[in-house]
Structure 1
């Protein structure tokens, strides 16, 4: 609620001025919108893909242990290594997608220079990074479901799809609620991959709230604005977490 100098020391009491300035700024509203899109996509894709992979890996198939290891390997990859890996993949000249486009005779996508594709680039990278943790947690939950339930359902003639939605999902609903909440919060806090891959660009299309706080504080020296942004982000995370507990927890079977 103060203005600050370049060293971060308070100078003049500003009341709610910092907040009204932010909420009236088109750039800040754009960052907020980009963050909400990013968090929603990351949460849905991470939990959804993690659940499908965990359900597949729970089957007793030949060589399934190798697939379990491959799915969970991202837990041992640092953010910097992941960024280098994906920067190479997204490279418009020698990257995997560029080579695939050339092979199929399709136009090459500029993943990191097109605003829309840059957003998808950080979403894909974040989902890939988060998938290992989500996969392992959900695999453990699915493995703990009593096999007698599936045996009884098979005797009654229930298909695997019906067993998945009527047995697996309800039985692991507490774990699903846990990973969705954790993924949502982590999505709002994303920083490392954005800093290393896009640096908030192009044209601020991936300038998420946390990265904006970082730039305003340590690049622009506007600590008052950055502090206000941090408070707003805290309120937003608390609000969405409350919504999850309010509406999603009702569907959890303990």
Structure 2
């Protein structure tokens, strides 16, 4: 047997010194990766498995599983009008915030990439929202949307337009929250896209200018294709972040009026920490995870084909 083992090691080129070196390298790698793996297990993998476990149980107000219900939590959710309303509001919110937010950030990044005097000041202004917390930003917009003393209704009053109940009208509440989210997300998207624009080699533009290409030709034939990796990253991150929005909902509308802004994450919060239905909330979280995973995979399958990597 020992001869056979030595022959097999010799066939695959593993000498005793090579085996010891491979084991040493593996242990050294685990030494570096160990702390991060421990944190991922404690704060990512364990909570996911615990959530999946809770989703098959009915729990008491303390969150202790008391009855195995199987798929009942999932079945009750997909047949619930409240859950379907929440999912509809969530997809509408993503539809409102992602295209407009990304397009506006790209527009500002293109402007800020121009070599103009004093453009650094505008770069600071455009990226300033990245340093504002969700709570602070939502509070600012809470006063802007105020029905009587808010800035928006005052401007409308000067124009002779009747005041709008931005946060208490079900037709306007989700739009108002979306405006807040777009404003808060512009800073991050702007910084990423501006970095992508500034990484484009200048000689490409010089060659295009020599060939007689105008501004719009260079924008659509050079700038957008070359910035597509950064744009693809921003779209992926913005979509995921939109599905996870919570703070602005809690501060501005608390899910109302008439559940028009009751996004899926806020619905999870209500079921878990207000109604103490931890099993139902866990099932909602698993459904949200699956939805985000599917949307992300679709984005990679469809969008990555159009990305131009340098």
Please say if 1:208 is aligned against 2:271.
Answer: no
Q: 1:46 and 1:165 mapped to 2: Cα distance?
A: 20
Equivalent of residue 187 in structure 2, options 128, 132, 157: 132
1:6 aligned residue? 61
Q: CA RMSD in A?
A: 0.9
1:226 aligned residue? 281
What is the SS of the residue equivalent to 2:190? helix
Q: 1:169 and 1:228 mapped to 2: Cα distance?
A: 40
Equivalent of residue 50 in structure 1, options 105, 118, 121: 105
**Residues 147 and 166 in structure 2, CA contact (< 8 A), matched pair in contact too:** yes
1:20 aligned residue? 75
Segments ≥4 residues shifted beyond 4 Å:
none
Structure 2 residue runs without a partner (length 5+):
1-55
Deviation by residue 1:158-194 (Cα, 9 ceiling, x = unmatched): 2212211110111011111111101111011100111
Q: 2:151 and 2:233 mapped to 1: Cα distance?
A: 34
Equivalent of residue 202 in structure 2, options 121, 144, 147: 147
Q: CA deviation at 1:47?
A: 1.0
**Residues 40 and 184 in structure 1, CA contact (< 8 A), matched pair in contact too:** no
Q: 1:232 and 1:59 mapped to 2: Cα distance?
A: 44
Q: 1:139 and 1:155 mapped to 2: Cα distance?
A: 25
**Residues 200 and 226 in structure 2, CA contact (< 8 A), matched pair in contact too:** yes
What is the SS of the residue equivalent to 2:290? helix
Q: 2:271 and 2:58 mapped to 1: Cα distance?
A: 13
Q: CA deviation at 1:155?
A: 2.5
2:229 aligned residue? 174
Structure 1 residue runs without a partner (length 5+):
none
What is the SS of the residue equivalent to 1:177? helix
Larger Rg: 2
Question: How many residues are aligned here?
Answer: 254
Q: 1:69 and 1:216 mapped to 2: Cα distance?
A: 41
